[in-house]
């Protein structure tokens, strides 16, 4: 048995009909194509799938391995090759995050200053929009002129519809930007050709600010702004159920990942408990 190009095309059509997002579809197909390249024309067997899994474990983080395996298992299920499916890695839930990968509010403010110094108002406002609403970068096109005027945006993604509220301060600065750019309707953050900014462009613009801002590049990417929103909201409200609704999570377990504190914070909390009696 071999994987044929027509089978991949049919699976892509199936994903489209299932209303998966463009980014998700591209990711699934990319993972399947990478597996096909690794197979190099060999007959598809469970032994080879397990061998590929072992190589993934050697070269990728556990979460990335499971993500790739999910792509392959979905493709196998669609073709009713159930005997080829492999188990995900078991990952113990983290009790604290790595401080070297978490963007702090101070670092966020440094990035904003760097964007302002470079006179890149578009990325300056993009970062504030993501960080003050907690939206995914893929949801940025829903921040339209109409949404700014009403103070709320309706997001329709992955078969879900949810409302995003834009605070007054954000609406004020976005209205000024719209006026300067002559934007009266539709998506606010667009390219010169009038198309919505894509993930790669935003990612690159943010990385370009790192040296000026003095912020490590490994901390700077759009999704970390969503993390900062979640951590800031939770630190103030301590309401994980409401936060899950705001972020568009169907499971609170997903939201918990966004509220995990750093190891240093955990250490300070434990030391403040005062449960060790010092000998005199």
Picking from 32, 58, 84, the residue at the C-terminal end of a domain is 84
| 90 part of a folded domain | no
Residues 205, 71 share a domain: no
Is the CA virtual torsion 62, 251, 225, 199 positive or negative?
positive
Q: What number of H helices and E strands is found in the chain?
A: 14, 2
d(C-alpha 255, C-alpha 262), whole Å: 16
Token readout for 87 is: 């188990």
| 43 part of a folded domain | yes
Residues 125, 31 share a domain: no
- Per residue in 115-166, pLDDT (tens digit) is 999 999 999 999 999 999 999 999 999 999 999 999 999 988 767 788 999 9
Residues 183, 142 share a domain: yes
Residues 141, 18 share a domain: no
Residues 169, 35 share a domain: no
pLDDT confidence of residue 88: 92
Residues 18, 116 share a domain: no
| 270 part of a folded domain | no
Picking from 54, 84, 114, the residue at the C-terminal end of a domain is 84
- Could you tell me the CATH number of the domain that includes residue 210? 1.10.443.10
Residues 225, 162 share a domain: yes
Q: How many domains does the chain have?
A: 2
**DSSP 8-class letter at 154:** E
Q: Using CB atoms within 10 A of its CB, is residue 227 exposed (0-12), middle (13-18) or buried (19+)?
A: buried
Residues 67, 115 share a domain: no
In three-state secondary structure terms, 151 is coil
| 280 part of a folded domain | no
d(C-alpha 188, C-alpha 38), whole Å: 42
pLDDT confidence of residue 96: 56
pLDDT confidence of residue 261: 65
Residues 243, 107 share a domain: yes
- Range of 254's domain? 99-265
| 274 part of a folded domain | no
pLDDT lower than 70: segments of the chain: 92-100, 158, 261-267, 269-270, 274, 278-280
Q: Look up the pTM and report it.
A: 0.68
């Amino acid at each position: 048995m071999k994987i044929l190009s027509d089978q991949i095309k049919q699976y892509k059509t199936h994903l489209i009909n299932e209303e998966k997002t463009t980014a998700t579809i591209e990711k699934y197909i990319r993972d399947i194509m990478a597996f096909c390249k690794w197979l190099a024309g060999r007959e598809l067997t469970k032994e080879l799938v397990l061998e590929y899994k072992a190589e993934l474990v050697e070269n990728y983080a556990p979460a990335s391995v499971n993500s790739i395996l999910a792509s392959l298992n979905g493709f196998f299920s669609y073709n009713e090759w159930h005997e080829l499916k492999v188990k995900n890695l078991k990952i113990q839930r983290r009790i604290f995050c790595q401080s070297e990968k978490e963007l702090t509010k101070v670092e966020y403010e440094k990035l904003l200053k760097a964007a302002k110094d470079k006179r890149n108002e578009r990325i300056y406002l993009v970062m504030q929009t993501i960080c003050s609403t907690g939206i995914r970068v893929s949801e940025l096109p829903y921040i339209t002129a109409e949404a700014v005027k009403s103070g709320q945006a309706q997001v329709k993604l992955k078969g879900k519809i949810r409302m995003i509220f834009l605070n007054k301060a954000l609406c004020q600065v976005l209205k000024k930007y719209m006026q300067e750019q002559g934007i009266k309707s539709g998506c606010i953050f667009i390219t010169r050709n009038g198309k919505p900014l894509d993930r790669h462009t935003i990612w690159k613009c943010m990385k370009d600010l790192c040296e000026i801002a003095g912020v490590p590049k490994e901390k700077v990417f759009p999704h970390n702004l969503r993390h900062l929103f979640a951590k800031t909201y939770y630190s103030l409200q301590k309401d994980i159920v409401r936060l899950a609704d705001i972020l568009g999570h169907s499971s609170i377990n997903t939201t918990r990942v966004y509220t995990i504190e750093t190891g240093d914070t955990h250490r300070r909390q434990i030391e403040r408990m005062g449960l060790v009696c010092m000998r005199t």
